[in-house]
Amino acid sequence: MAASSYAGRILYVDLASGDVQKEPLAPELARDYLGGAGINARLAYDLIKPGLDAFSPENVLIIGAGPLVGTLAPATPKTDAATKSPLTGTLGLSTSGHFGSMLKYAGYDHLVIRGRAPRPAYLKIEDGRVEVCDASHLWGKDIFETTDALNKEHPGFWVSCIGPAGENRVRFSFILTEKQSTWGRGGFGAVMGSKNLKAIVVRGSRGIEVADPKRFEDDCDAWMGRFSGVKSNKVWSQIGTMIGWEGYARLGYLSYKNWKVAYPLERTIQEFGAQALRERIKKGTISCPSCPLGCKAYLGGADGPAVATSCVLGFTWQLGLRCDVGSYENAVKAFELCNRYGVDHMTFGNLMGHLNDHFQQGTITLEDTLGYVPELGFEATMDLLHKVAYREGIGDVLADAWYGVVDRFHKGSWEEAVQIKKLDPPFDIRAVLSTETFGQLVEPRGGHMNQSISINILGDRTPEQLRRYCGGHIGIPDQAMERVFAQPDKPSVPRITRWVQDYNAILFSLGVCQRAPISFQYNTQVCSDFYSAATGLETSPQELLHIGERIWNLQKAFNVREGFRRQDDMAPARWMKDPLVVEGREVPAVPEQAIGRLLDEYYDERDWDLETGLPTREKLVELGLGDVAEDLKRMGI
């Protein structure tokens, strides 16, 4: 029987047969992989066979919530999803802010969905009662309509659902929970759509207990006490991720025109900055369950709709700047449409920018675009969003993301696509070398960085600050600290990234949010204390880091089985060959040789083979992944 603070069960649902199985959560699974993203990785590795088409019924959608989710442990809402991604072909990973709490109150730590329903369906989970229900009345509705309809039909339930983009298997469509929390990048919506699964609704009435109530409560109160003393948290609550806007703009992160030039600084700050957000756009503050920060927001213009976002900066950049929609109000309207359809605005903005840039250069013609005239702007954005969601005309090409673009416009050449493992990355390594920008190269899900977040995204931390973070916060062992700080004035970013990723794997497996104000308060010692008090299983920072390393290597092994190698960790050609122009100043490219050296340092820090970028057999065995080592050996890898 799993320890306290776990719900204690994994729910398996086969949509084809309607079969429902509730299996006990094996204690060794919890001990070895913690929960959430960790156990998800093990389930994904065991259940998703290599070479599978992501749209086949055999693909599995896994949702998991770690042992701290659903408790009073501050900011522990994180619910992880895993699948084979139809966008990247890698292990698809995403973390969301809702759902998991209610899943645990219903009595389950993980939900595993297999098969394809014979007709549109939604899954209803209410404590021990699990049903596959008819969704024919919902199919075709957008996400908001679906959520409202199911909220009315099932009061008190939380709704996760897809819109037309998911139904039409747009490869970068997402799942939205209660209209505010996403399983966002990598095409999770399309996986649900391929299963004829329109929605999951969940309600629970079971309590979560902890092993040592006094210790747990003291830890919660101490955490909240420390948190309330940090002045910048108030700013996070007011403007969310826009706290980074001006810094990002000055560095050149906020580029447009297909990664060539930073959006004009003055307009970036005046029209789309924090002041505009406060005065014209923000209508309310939202928190994930258990979170005291409140970095999410309700948005709307003077006459526009209210739409929720978990990352204010993301859509402001992608739609406001990249799609150049003209005003913050227009950006909100376009964002609302993205959320109704279920289209990832990040990939959409990059595709739109790519299309425009190449059309202007003449490398894409009207014949290529089926007569569609690419342009930026609000009307063009709203029109193209519709075309993509419904796979109409050029939208059908773009709905397959970089596969469609490369196949139709570039005769199979990937040189022009700014992507890493087919996922377009958010943060430009030319602007700053940080764990976030480097981490995008090696994250298992492809070009995203949320498992590599540390404290240096603006590149302005001193070596001493980094030393304190690495040693005190993460608890990097002394020998590793020597390697990281071999050049005292120039700490190794790739080596730090390895440890940051292991730390983030812990957070994602416990259910802790990785937003800076939260993860700062959660260091490995605090994680260890909370975990021990909650579950009754004593652990330590070193043990947790070891588990984090195990989880990371398992995620990597999934991709190794799918054929991913060192060359797939390379940066996009644009970053390696072309400068970025920031307010008239050229920021140089990062040449391929330099990227190669960074990868060498990273693989070395991971004890992976430098030539292939793969975990060695010895490393896998050391981590208790001997079965994985055998698999790879059998496959001749």
Partner 1 sequence: MDAGQHPILAYPEKCTGCMRCQLRCSWTYVSAFNPSESYIQVELGDLNRISFTELCNACGFCVDECPFGALELA
Binding site for partner 1 (CB under 8 A): 70-72, 101, 105, 156, 158, 178, 204-209, 213, 217, 224, 228, 237, 284-292, 294, 296, 298, 306
Nearer to partner 1, 290 or 456 (CB): 290
**Phi, psi angles (nearest 5°) of residue 413:** -85, 130
Nearest Cα residue to 30 out of 11, 62, 4, 49: 4
Query: What single-letter DSSP state applies at residue 538?
Result: -
- Shortest gap between Cβ of 309 and partner 1 (angstroms)? 13
Nearer to partner 1, 307 or 544 (CB): 307
CA distance 282 to 301: 8
- Shortest gap between Cβ of 290 and partner 1 (angstroms)? 6
CA distance 502 to 549: 5
CA distance 173 to 184: 7
Task: Label the pairing between strands 585-587 and 61-65.
Answer: unpaired
CA distance 79 to 423: 21
Nearest Cα residue to 84 out of 60, 112, 113, 105: 60
- Shortest gap between Cβ of 99 and partner 1 (angstroms)? 12
Nearer to partner 1, 213 or 472 (CB): 213
- Shortest gap between Cβ of 329 and partner 1 (angstroms)? 18
Nearer to partner 1, 97 or 353 (CB): 97
- Shortest gap between Cβ of 205 and partner 1 (angstroms)? 4
Sequence-ordered list of residues with C-beta below 8 angstroms from that of 347, at least 6 positions apart, any chain? 87, 172, 185, 401, 423, 424
CB count within 10 Å of CB 379 equals 11
Sequence-ordered list of residues with C-beta below 8 angstroms from that of 198, at least 6 positions apart, any chain? 120, 121, 122, 135, 138, 139, 146, 161, 162, 167, 192
- Shortest gap between Cβ of 216 and partner 1 (angstroms)? 9
CB count within 10 Å of CB 250 equals 17
CA distance 600 to 143: 44
Contact (Cβ atoms closer than 8 angstroms) between residue 25 and residue 497: no
CA distance 127 to 65: 16
Nearer to partner 1, 178 or 424 (CB): 178
CA distance 543 to 149: 46
Backbone region of residue 114 per phi and psi (left: phi > 0; alpha: psi in -120 to 50; beta: other values): beta
Distances (CA, A) of 296 to 241, 403, 622: 8, 33, 41
Backbone region of residue 34 per phi and psi (left: phi > 0; alpha: psi in -120 to 50; beta: other values): left
- Shortest gap between Cβ of 218 and partner 1 (angstroms)? 13
CA distance 99 to 90: 24
Q: Provide the token pair at 52.
A: 């599978």
Nearer to partner 1, 310 or 497 (CB): 310
Q: Collapse the DSSP code of 169 into the 3-class scheme (helix H, G, I; strand E, B; otherwise coil) and give the result.
A: coil
Estimate to the nearest angstrom the gap between the alpha carbon of 270 and the chain centroid: 29
| CB burial string 524-554: b at 16+ within 10 A, e below | bebbbbbbbbbbebebebeebbbbbbbbbbb
Estimate to the nearest angstrom the gap between the alpha carbon of 248 and the chain centroid: 20
CA distance 258 to 188: 25
- Shortest gap between Cβ of 446 and partner 1 (angstroms)? 31
Sequence-ordered list of residues with C-beta below 8 angstroms from that of 90, at least 6 positions apart, any chain? 84, 421, 444, 445, 446, 558, 559, 562, 564
- Look up tokens 């025109």; give the residue: 257
Nearer to partner 1, 67 or 86 (CB): 67
Across 61-164, the runs of DSSP E, i.e. the strands, are 61-65, 79-84, 91-96, 110-114, 121-126, 129-134, 158-161
Nearer to partner 1, 211 or 610 (CB): 211
- Shortest gap between Cβ of 70 and partner 1 (angstroms)? 6
Contact (Cβ atoms closer than 8 angstroms) between residue 422 and residue 401: yes
CA distance 546 to 12: 29
CA distance 300 to 306: 5
